[in-house]
Amino acid sequence: MFRRLEYRGSASGKFWEVTVEGSTYTVRFGKLGRDGQARATACADPAVARREALKKLRAKLKKGYEEVELSANAARPQASPKTASKPTARKQLDKAVGYLKQWNSFFPTAKVPAKRLEEFVLDSDTSDDDGLYRDALVSWTPAQTRAAFDDEGRQVRPLTIAWRGDRAAVQVAFARAQLLIEVPETNARPCVLEPGNPDTKLKALMRAFDGLKKKRVPAYGNLALTQSGGWESIHDRCDRMRLVPPRGIFWTNQSHGCFDARGNLHHDLALYWTGDADLLCDALDAEGLQVQRPASDREAIVVPPH
């Protein structure tokens, strides 16, 4: 759905447009002859998006705007995209630790003096409000930070990070911050954050999941220990968000073992889901994951290694 209105009561004139794509509607407005600015709003489903868009359109018509019919070949004006500066590796690292802090308590202990730590995260093996299975600690010293990052926050040397607890929680937190951290199978060896930061399957999954969350779809990696626990968490989240019918996608702590130390897959990853399979698969495919689409709602969405 696309509708364009114009108002010529002022000297320069104004325009207002609304576009509905799936469960999101986008309003663009400004002076005639200019790009204007755009605002996107995610709704519960396509029907709600269309209803909200039409409500705003009727409000504009009451204010004197008139609808403009565009020919089939007419190009719709596009707002100039805003260029966002790429976050530095140091800011991404802060973000990764921020995710761990959200999932866990943040406090020092006598075993690891606080003054020697840059970051310290520890919790018991209980789950948080979202049912996420988390139990992780990461730590490094201020001296290591100064050596690994320049004054502008760019990473210039590897950062060695001590860790213990849930390996999957560490990987997911750093991948959601779009950082590649190499996490060994056991904490006898430290994690290593290397400069360069190439892409991985895990990072692509977390980008897709964060995009789905913006569309009001609960999407979590490493959710709960088992599949039954994951479903309980998804339905609880849907109840709190008043999502009817429920929707969501996740993988469990038990299935996280298909990721290697760098966050790439060494065998198929099954994603458990409910809701609109095409919406979920399209979001995953948009990140280059080339998933195997389910033939029915009883089949998982499968992410292949290659």
| 213 and 299 belong to one structural domain | yes
Confidence of residue 85 (pLDDT cuts 50, 70, 90): low
φ/ψ bin of 153: left (φ > 0), alpha (ψ from -120 to 50), beta (otherwise): left
Strands 136-139 and 159-165: antiparallel
The residue out of 131, 164, 193 marking a domain boundary is 193
The residue out of 130, 164, 193 marking a domain boundary is 193
In terms of pLDDT, which residue wins out, 100 or 121? Answer: 100
The H or E element spanning position 68 is strand 66-68
Q: At residue 87, what is the residue type?
A: P
The H or E element spanning position 124 is none
What per-residue confidence (pLDDT) applies to 78? Answer: 52
* Global pTM value: 0.66
Lookup: tokens for 109: 């202990």
- Checking if the pLDDT of 130 tops 60, the result is no
Q: Report the Cα–Cα distance between both ends of the chain, in Å, rounded.
A: 36
Residue 161: phi and psi, rounded to 5, are -125, 120
Length of the chain: 306
What per-residue confidence (pLDDT) applies to 239? Answer: 94
Residue 170: phi and psi, rounded to 5, are -65, -50
- Tracing tokens 């569309």 back to the chain, one arrives at 215
- Tracing tokens 């590649």 back to the chain, one arrives at 180
- Checking if the pLDDT of 212 tops 60, the result is yes
- Checking if the pLDDT of 126 tops 80, the result is no
CA distances from residue 9 to 13, 31, 66 in whole angstroms, order as listed = 6, 12, 11
Residue 81 domain flag: no
**Residues 19-44, mean pLDDT to the nearest whole number:** 85
| Total of domains in the chain | 3
What is the spatial distance between Cα 15 and Cα 35, in angstroms, rounded to a whole number?
Answer: 10
The residue out of 193, 209, 242 marking a domain boundary is 193
| 40 and 63 belong to one structural domain | yes
CATH number of the domain to which 15 belongs: 2.20.140.10
Residue 167 domain boundaries:
89-193
137: β partners: 164
| 103 and 120 belong to one structural domain | yes
Q: Which residues contact 164 (CB under 8 A, 6 or more apart)?
A: 136, 137, 187
Q: What is the pLDDT of residues 259-275, one digit of tens each?
A: 999 999 999 999 999 99
What per-residue confidence (pLDDT) applies to 121? Answer: 42
Residue 278 domain flag: yes
Residue 77 domain flag: no
- Checking if the pLDDT of 88 tops 60, the result is yes
